[in-house]
Structure 1
Amino acid sequence: MTKQTWAEWHAAHEENRADRHGFLAVTSLNFLNETPQRFTDAPGEWSTGPGGVVVDLTDGESLTIDGAEVTGRHEFGVLPERGGVTAGYGEAVIEVAKRGGFDIVRPRHPDHSLRTEYKGTPTYEPTEKWELGGRYVPFDEPRQITVGAAVEGLEHVYESPGRVEFEALGTPLALTVFNGHTPGTFFALFTDETSGVTTYAANRSLAIAAPGPDGSVVLDFNKATNLPCAYTEFATCPLPPAENKLPVAVEAGEKTPV
């Protein structure tokens, strides 16, 4: 990886982070129950029950779902964990999702000051020192691992297919990994000796490409990134499993946001 390649990757990552409907645009996080609730940054009265999320829109209120205007009562149905629906609302969107077993409504407004005033995230200088070779070691059977969340009282359950063993600064280490978005890939949530000092205290994330036939992988900590909870209190980000606290200072990747 050259510095130019890394710079291009980081610029694309920052652009995605500052998307007009990205996490920097979130204006509230609302947990639903059976009692209808109205929120100041979204239309309608929202509730949930055995049949899933429901919104009741009054006269003059509407949402756009799958390209069609919706008025009156709309049933979103039962949402899958980590799944959701995005409804249009003028220049904003309303995220309706399930996180940690709870149905939530999370409006995203492009003109939110957190997004419009975002100046970028500081990083360590990229260096080959933190491009590390490792080995993927699968478990006999995938494990369901429960981790905490940035929101108190919330838990996430992820399937872990195995762990990645590697060495850094002369220390043998390992990370429990979860399945990535692309089949065969992984991601690891971790903290290290920089956490709470120069990097965000709760977590960072590292994407790992699919292993080679011999199980070999590359861990490029220059691409260690912050999760949305580093920027907004309205994120439900997972915390790393206890064994992913690395006893070394990973001076690579993204630092604590300004």
Structure 2
Amino acid sequence: MKRKFLGLALLAWIAGCSPKKEFTPEERQAYEASLNAWHTRRLEDVKAPDGWLNLVGLYWLEPGPNTFGSSEKNNIVFPSGKIAEHAGYFIVQDNRVILRADNNVTITVHGKPITTEQVVFHPDSSAIIVESGSLRWNIIRRDTKLAVRLRDLDSEATKSFAGIERYPVDPAFRVEAGFEKADSSRTIDITNIVGQTTAQRSPGTLVFDLLGKKHRLDVLEGNKDEFFVIFADVTSGNETYGGGRFVYVKKPVAGEAVYIDFNKAYNPPCVFTPYATCPLPPRQNALTVEVKAGEKNYSAGSHSGNATVSVH
């Protein structure tokens, strides 16, 4: 019990410590252990059924009927041997997507077979998951376009996954930052990897010193407790992914310091699959130093590292 209490106390100290203070060996050990546990959870998320390794297709839908199946004669061609040659069709109409399955093709939603037709997307619903064999898919919207996001729970990428290389843990890359709160109407333009640009709410800017320079990073809304940050740095396109990396930052609470822990910088989904639609760092979030912390580029597959972001 005493050892457990000591470990919790060390983690609590780490949460509020100044990065300029040297860690004792025990504090350093606790800090590394917390980051290793975070990284383990991260790997589990990537391999999970709703992770990124099993994405095997992204198919943009056209208005009206879109036939699908494993035959090349379809508008949307699913992987060979995974589904019937002619499985049915998606109908895009009035901002909804209806799936109509062919006879003798087993396709389910919530475990129940589709016997005639089923709405699989409408703007006010959460993701509707459709299944057939090892395939699982749902409809996503990007700007004004709709697409089928296809997963294969038996994908080779998931089976062969051996982890993500990362830099050694370095407390110097956990930095205290000031937060400049923005007007509630402030937005910044975010472009994704397929070239779509949208204005997204930005609550403010983090200001901090790193490697002898002052830097600024615009944040996006993340979740209830954290900001979401997309950034690039001088390692982008070399040791790390060319399309930048992501990091979450705890929102400021009265009386508490704000910290950016670049040891938790992680790869976007596009590192693992060409079928994701990742946001890219806005130009102002390109840091002019090497952030040798967090995840390095993922080398499996020829798609890795294709995107590039200038940091000058």
Q: TM-score, length-normalised on structure 2?
A: 0.76
The match for 2:217 is 175
Contact 1:176/1:243 (8 A) holds in 2: yes
- Segment drifting more, 36-45 vs 22-31: 36-45
Q: Over residues 49-70 of structure 1, what are the superposed CA-to-partner deviations in whole Å (9 max), with x where a residue is unaligned?
A: 3241121111122433234332
Percent of residue pairs bearing the same amino acid type: 27
User: Offset at 1:142?
Assistant: 3.5
The match for 2:57 is 28
Give the Cα separation in 2 of the matches to 1:4 and 1:100. Answer: 40
Shift in alpha-carbon separation, 1:60–1:156, aligned structure 2, 3 A: farther
The match for 2:128 is 85
Structure with max Cα Rg: 2
Give the Cα separation in 2 of the matches to 1:87 and 1:127. Answer: 43
Contact 2:121/2:127 (8 A) holds in 1: no
Contact 1:3/1:126 (8 A) holds in 2: yes
> Are 1:3 and 2:11 counterparts?
no
Contact 1:21/1:93 (8 A) holds in 2: no
Contact 2:269/2:276 (8 A) holds in 1: yes
Give the Cα separation in 2 of the matches to 1:184 and 1:101. Answer: 29
Give the Cα separation in 2 of the matches to 1:122 and 1:230. Answer: 12
The structure with the greater share of residues assigned to helix is: 2
Q: 1:95-134, aligned counterparts within 5 Å?
A: 95-134=138-177
The match for 2:78 is 40
Gaps (5+ residues) in structure 1? none
Secondary structure at 1:206 match in 2: strand
Contact 1:122/1:255 (8 A) holds in 2: yes
Shift in alpha-carbon separation, 1:158–1:71, aligned structure 2, 3 A: farther
The structure with the greater share of residues assigned to strand is: 1
Which of the numbers 163, 167, 174 marks the counterpart of 2:205? Answer: 163
The match for 2:302 is none
> Are 1:57 and 2:101 counterparts?
yes
Secondary structure at 2:57 match in 1: coil
The match for 2:191 is 148
Q: What's the Cα RMSD here?
A: 2.0
Secondary structure at 2:157 match in 1: helix
> Are 1:70 and 2:114 counterparts?
yes
Give the Cα separation in 1 of the matches to 2:48 and 2:121. Answer: 28
Secondary structure at 1:141 match in 2: coil
Give the Cα separation in 2 of the matches to 1:49 and 1:5. Answer: 49
The match for 2:241 is 200
Contact 2:120/2:138 (8 A) holds in 1: no
Shift in alpha-carbon separation, 1:157–1:112, aligned structure 2, 3 A: farther
Which of the numbers 181, 186, 202 marks the counterpart of 1:138? Answer: 181
Give the Cα separation in 2 of the matches to 1:233 and 1:9. Answer: 25
User: Offset at 1:80?
Assistant: 5.8
- Segment drifting more, 228-237 vs 40-49: 40-49
Give the Cα separation in 2 of the matches to 1:154 and 1:37. Answer: 26
Secondary structure at 2:53 match in 1: helix
The match for 2:227 is 186
Q: Over residues 145-183 of structure 1, what are the superposed CA-to-partner deviations in whole Å (9 max), with x where a residue is unaligned?
A: 2221112x32344211111111101211111101113x1
User: Offset at 1:77?
Assistant: 4.3
Contact 1:61/1:71 (8 A) holds in 2: no
Contact 1:21/1:109 (8 A) holds in 2: no
Give the Cα separation in 2 of the matches to 1:80 and 1:190. Answer: 31
Give the Cα separation in 2 of the matches to 1:142 and 1:216. Answer: 25
The match for 1:220 is 261
Shift in alpha-carbon separation, 1:18–1:203, aligned structure 2, 3 A: same
Contact 1:164/1:176 (8 A) holds in 2: yes
Give the Cα separation in 2 of the matches to 1:221 and 1:239. Answer: 17
Q: TM-score, length-normalised on structure 1?
A: 0.91
Gaps (5+ residues) in structure 2? 1-13, 15-30, 69-76, 300-312
